[in-house]
Homo-oligomer: A and B are copies of this chain.
Amino acid sequence: MAQSGDFLRGHTETIILRLLLDGDSYGYEISKNIVERGMGLIDIKDATIYTAFRRMENDGLLATYWGEGAGGARRRYYSITEKGRKLYEEKKAEWQKLRTVLDNLILGGK
Q: Which residues of A contact B (CB under 8 A)?
A: 1-2, 6-7, 9-11, 13-15, 18, 21-22, 34, 37-39, 41-42, 59, 91-92, 94-108
Contact = CB atoms under 8 A, between A and B. Distances in A.
A9 B11 contact: no
Contacts of A94: 41
Chain A interface secondary structure, helix, strand, loop or mixed? Answer: helix
Given A9-B7, A9-B10, A11-B7, A37 B108 contact: no
Given A38-B101, A97-B39, A13 B2 contact: yes
14 contacts: A1-B13, A2-B13, A2-B91, A18-B105, A22-B108, A37-B101, A39-B100, A41-B94, A42-B101, A42-B105, A91-B106, A92-B106, A95-B106, A99-B99
